[in-house]
Amino acid sequence: MKGIIMDYLINHSPTRCINLSTVKQQLFNHQAISRADIARYTGLHRSTISSLFDELDTQGYIHHLGHGKSTTVGGRKPELYTFNGHYGYVACFNITYAHLYTMFLYVNGKEISFQRFDTCGQDIITVMELINRQLHKAANRHDTTHGLLGISISIHAIVDHNKVTHSPYYPMNGINFQEYFTNHYHVPVIVGNEANLAAIYERDYARHVSPANFIVLSIHRGPGIGVVANHHLFSGFQGKTGELGSVKVPNLMGQFQEIGDYLSVDHLQAAITKAVGINPHADYSTLKRVVATGRPKVDRVITSFAEVTGQLLFDLQMLYGPEEIFINSPLIELIPQLITKIKATAQQHAVTIPVSVISGSRYVSLLGAAAMIIRQVIELPDRDLDFKWTTSVG
């Protein structure tokens, strides 16, 4: 009996749990790695590595890749391993005011599929039914050991502890996403603000180049910011940090007006189409071509938009003290002339830190949502993980 108790204490000691996480982290971060390399990178003894490997292998976390190349002195070819992506998969959803974006990923972060559905004019119940259909469809996949491991939802709303407290586009009528999907699918569910998850994306998918303190300014139908301080997301009391769209400032007429009224892709789209007299619902590719023509009326529109954005960037710099600000916007990223003007205007407004525009806006919050839920289900919430975006699903 003493032996059983001792084995239990050893296998569940804090040190062993930390070491298991360390090995799991190395497997996740390398497409192919040997036990010897893990020992060298972590400082753990090889006998300890072997014991930890046996446990992780039994749990199904390890994918055996076979033998690699022999050493330069003709030594035995080492066996290589990586994290077993087919351990399970996660489901991620981005609920915007007009679309539902879906992405399924293996638990090693490799994308399985990406889709976009038109939800303009639909209520939240209809959107949830669409999510259920996608989850049921994905359940027919039989290439993972444990199937669905977690669900992560991004939404343009104020979110506090996984609960939507204010949604400008969808009346929630008391609906609790986390409670509903947890009860139906019996897996962990994370719900997050779109801008916050965009910040998680920038932290986790570009961790080797992103600073410890930065802001992501998301400009969609309205503006919002995600704040990362010392590598950690800061969402503030009740999740209200970064809710820029509702902030009121004096306009040119001296009247208080919400920033979201004029700093949005909808406002920019309307101004450009009005300036040239085309369909107000023209797609972004058309708007890109219109701006490229260099018409004076259009140039005045993007100059005005850049001026407002540049002033906001200065305000954010002074309010939060970031090392860099990233802009995440599906329309801005398509228009190089606007990007150039925004950066120039930011400098004129004494913005002294780098300003960058994120590419692939449609995927950003989905991938941030994926990073959050994957970290939870593989129990590596605070480790440095190398998430990679293949773009193959786009």
Every domain of the chain and the residues it spans: 2-83, 87-200+363-377, 210-360
Reading the block at residue 276, the tokens are 């040239």
CB atoms within 10 A of CB 5: 9
Number of H helices, E strands in the chain: 12, 17
Which of 208, 209, 244, 211 lies closest to 226 in space, CA to CA?
244
Say which residues have a Cβ less than 8 Å from residue 72's Cβ, sequence separation at least 6: none
From 1.10.620.20, 3.30.420.40, 3.40.50.2300, 3.40.50.300, which CATH number describes the 87-200+363-377 domain?
A: 3.30.420.40
Residue 188, judged by CB atoms within 10 A of its CB (0-12, 13-18, 19+), counts as middle
Contact assessment for residue 198 and residue 358, using Cβ atoms and an 8 Å cutoff:
yes
Report CA Rg, the chain.
Answer: 24
pLDDT for res 207:
76
pLDDT for res 52:
96
Q: At 146, phi and psi to the nearest 5?
A: -115, 0
Which of 332, 277, 288 lies closest to 310 in space, CA to CA?
332
Architecture of domain 2-83: Orthogonal Bundle (1.10)
111: left (phi over 0), alpha (psi -120 to 50) or beta: beta
Distance CA 274, CA 295 (A): 13
92: left (phi over 0), alpha (psi -120 to 50) or beta: beta
Question: DSSP 3-state assignment of 22?
Answer: helix
pLDDT for res 53:
93
Reading the block at residue 149, the tokens are 């491991």
Domains 87-200+363-377 and 210-360 share a fold: yes
Torsion of the alpha carbons at 348, 250, 260 and 170, rounded to the nearest 10? 160
pLDDT for res 12:
60
Distance CA 33, CA 30 (A): 6
> 223-229 and 163-166: which strand pairing?
unpaired
Which of 188, 184, 198 lies closest to 94 in space, CA to CA?
198
Residue 325, judged by CB atoms within 10 A of its CB (0-12, 13-18, 19+), counts as buried
- CATH 3.30.420.40 assigned to 210-360: yes
Q: What is the pTM of this model?
A: 0.91
CB atoms within 10 A of CB 355: 20
pLDDT, tens digit only, all 394 positions of the chain: 444 444 444 456 889 999 999 999 999 999 999 999 999 999 999 889 999 999 999 999 999 999 866 555 556 788 999 999 999 999 999 999 999 999 999 999 999 999 999 999 999 999 999 999 999 999 998 899 999 999 999 999 999 999 999 998 999 999 999 999 999 999 999 999 999 999 999 999 987 788 999 999 999 988 999 999 999 999 999 999 988 888 888 777 778 888 888 899 999 999 999 999 999 999 999 999 999 999 999 999 999 999 999 999 999 999 999 999 999 999 999 999 999 999 999 999 999 999 999 999 999 999 999 999 999 999 999 999 999 887 655 4
Contact assessment for residue 152 and residue 178, using Cβ atoms and an 8 Å cutoff:
no
pLDDT for res 5:
41
pLDDT for res 327:
98
pLDDT for res 253:
79
